[in-house]
Structure formats: C-alpha cells, structure tokens
Amino acid sequence: MAFVHGPGLWKAHNVSLSSRPRYSVATRCVESFKPGILNEVTSVEDFDFLVESGANSESLVVIEFYAKWCKKCIKMMPKFRKIALDNRDCWFGKVDINAVGKLPRRQKIREMPTFQIFSGTEKLGEVIGSLDADKVDEQIRNYFASDEDRG
C-alpha cells in the first residue's frame, strides 16, 4: 500500500512495486533545466545532462561549485545569478559539493567557489576561488568574441 497526498488529505492506494514507473530523481529534475536561469544540479546525472544540453544547443555552459558553509560562495551567489540573467543564451548550474557525491572529485574541485565553463563537452576554462564576478563574465564574453571571429 502506498500513500499519495491529495488536496488536503492523504489517500491510500494499493500499488504493486512492479507496476510503479522507474525513474530517478535526476530524470524529474532535468526536465526543468533551462538556459538563462541558475539551475540546481543535485546529481552527477544532472551535471552530465546540463553539459550535454549546452552541447546539443551549441551553447555555453557555466557551472558553479559551491558549499553552503563557504562565505565566499554566499557572497558570490547573487553576482552569479545576475550573470545568468544577463546571458540568457547560456546554460548555468550550481553544484553544492556536499550533496553530489563524487562529482567534485571527478571535476577536480579543490577550492570554492569554482566556476567551470564548457562548450560542447569540452571544458574551456575555470575561475577558482574568486569573488570577482567580472572574471566569470569576461570568460563568457571571450567565448562569444572568439566565436564571432570564427563565424
């Protein structure tokens, strides 16, 4: 028996475990990922999906690795949110390093905040431990400037 929350009450339903749809938390989260907003990355699958989404749409992906206890990260968050709002054609994500398992090790995160910038699935650059939002914004502008030179 499973309990399903209805409007204002809990309802009990007989549901066999084999008849439940199988999907991960990541599957439900990634459906709401959009460019131009700050997306919360809660798993390795979310991270991979976000980077692949940017690659599929030929957009830049910027990810911030942070910790809730990090004072620099707390100061930087509103600045990063503004960068995301100012660059609506890019994909942005934020990763709490304490909530995503092995991803920080896989991405070689040593200091926070760390911003990684991807084009396709290739990492273009990184800004480590900085409170200077202009460094992140500059990397984004440099990407678009070099893209215009090529095109």
Q: 12-16, 128-132, 141-145: lowest mean pLDDT where?
A: 12-16
pLDDT of residue 21: 36
Q: Is the pLDDT of residue 76 over 50?
A: yes
Average pLDDT of the chain to the nearest whole number: 79
CA distance 39 to 58: 18
Amino acid identity of 141? Answer: R
Q: Is the pLDDT of residue 121 over 90?
A: no
Q: Which residues of 129-138 are buried (b: 16+ CB within 10 A; e: fewer)?
A: eeeebeebbe
Question: What is this structure's pTM?
Answer: 0.76
CA distance 122 to 124: 6
Rg (CA), the chain: 18
pLDDT of residue 149: 61
Q: Is the pLDDT of residue 18 over 60?
A: no
Provide the β-strand partners of residue 56. none
- Residue 147's pLDDT band, with cuts at 50, 70 and 90, is low
